[in-house]
Each structure stands twice: as structure tokens, then as C-alpha cells.
Amino acid sequence: MAENISYRRSNLREALLDRAMTVLGHRGAETLSIRELARDLGVSHTAPARHFADRQHLLQALAVEGFEQLGEEITRAIASTPELQGQARLVAGAYVAFAVEKANLVDVMFRHERANGDGVIGASAARTFKPLLQLFHDGEHDGVVPVGEAEMTATVFLAALQGIAALVNCGVVSPETVPQLVDNAVPRFIASPGNNSRDVRS
């Protein structure tokens, strides 16, 4: 039975996204249907067309919302400590937790840009990861990231986090091991101040 979800005419788009997020989290992107969302909200099946022309545009909006949520987590983690390696650890923990808890959303975030091709999701992702990229540029300036390698290091760092989350989600790695994996991974990308054996300024 569909949930009885109330909304105002002015916030139908938000209500559709909220309901879509719930369905996505429980059942995955394959089950998302704009017609079903409209039925759940008690509106005509044509009403969502004012906000989402088709299913692909709905998925795009979900991806953008997902990157906004992830961006808030990253920004909060970076603001929690002034120390760069500590920031990287907190970002890593927050990222993996997000990717595990919202695996279906993350799947939409990273799989649906090519199908649309207008760059909206990519632009949203770039905004999300800008604070993390700045963290690695700061690390380069402070001598804890190799000179000239901030962007590459940040990219590989993100790939490592995505890989850890994927291993957890497919059952290869236990969620309980994530903190240990993060503790092991972070120093490989950003050194501790005063304990840098990589001669990053050379």
C-alpha cells in the first residue's frame, strides 16, 4: 500500500524527490517509476512532468541531490579539525559511510551522467569534491603531498575510498574493518607533518 504523503502544490518537486529517495534506498533505481511516485503522492500521472520530463531527468536530479548531500558530509568533516591528515581521515570515514549506507544512491550518482550527456551531474560532482581537492593542494603547500601531484593524489584517494565502499557493499570486506582500512590508507596519500619520508618537496 502506498504511503499517504502530504505536499503543497509549490513543493511537488521536493515531494517527488523525497519519495524517490525512499524508493531508491529500499528497492534500487530499477524500480523507480514516475507514475508510481505520482500515485504515492496522490497526484495525476501527468503532474510530475512539470518537474521531470522523464525518468532520466528524475535520476539526474537524484544524482545531483546525492552529490549535494555528500558535499555537506565532506565539508563538515574538513571543518572538524585543522590538521590535514586528520581532515583526510574524517573525509575518508564520512565518504565510505555515505557510500555504504546509501549504496543505491551512489550507484545513481556515478552511473547516469553518460546516458544524459549534458554535464549537470559532472558539474555537481566537481563542486562536491572541490573542498577535498583544496585539502590536497594545501597538503602540497605544506609539504605533505608531493609537489605537482595534488590533483592526481586526490583522484586516486577518492578511487581508493570508492573501492573500499564497493568491497563492503559486495560483502568482501566487513564493515567493522573500515576504520582500520582508512587508518592504513590515508598516510599513503597525505603524510604526517614532520614525519615525511617521501621527500615531497623535491
Domains of the chain with bracketed CATH: 1-52 (1.10.10), 60-188 (1.10.357.10)
Q: How many CA atoms lie within 13 A of 176 on its CB side?
A: 0
pLDDT in tens, 10-23: 689 999 999 999 99
pLDDT of residue 111: 82
Residue 45 pLDDT: 84
Please give the pLDDT value at position 202. 38
pLDDT at 49 over 80: yes
CB-CB contact of 154 with 129 (8 Å): yes
Gap between the Cα atoms of 145 and 127, Å rounded: 22
Instruction: Choose among 88, 85, 202: nearest CA to 147.
Output: 202
Cell of 188: 599513503
The gap from C-alpha 135 to its chain's centroid, in whole angstroms, comes to 17
Q: Is the confidence at residue 131, as pLDDT, over 80? A: yes
Average pLDDT over residues 153-161: 97
Q: What percent of the chain has pLDDT over 70?
A: 88
Residues 6+ apart with CB under 8 A from 44: 38
In this predicted structure, the answer to whether residue 196 has a pLDDT above a threshold of 50 is: no
Q: What is the mean pLDDT of residues 17-42?
A: 93
pTM of structure: 0.86
pLDDT more than 90, % of the chain: 76
For 141-155, write each residue's pLDDT tens digit. 999 999 999 999 999
pLDDT at position 53, please?
A: 86
Dist. CA 165–CA 105, nearest whole Å = 13
C-alpha cell at 131: 573542498
| Residues 78-115: tens digit of each pLDDT | 999 999 999 999 999 999 999 999 999 999 999 865 55
Question: Which cell is 152 given?
Answer: 592526481
- The residues, ordered by sequence, that sit 6+ positions from 178 with a Cβ below 8 Å of its Cβ are 93, 96, 97, 100, 164, 168
Single-letter amino acid code for the residue at 108: V
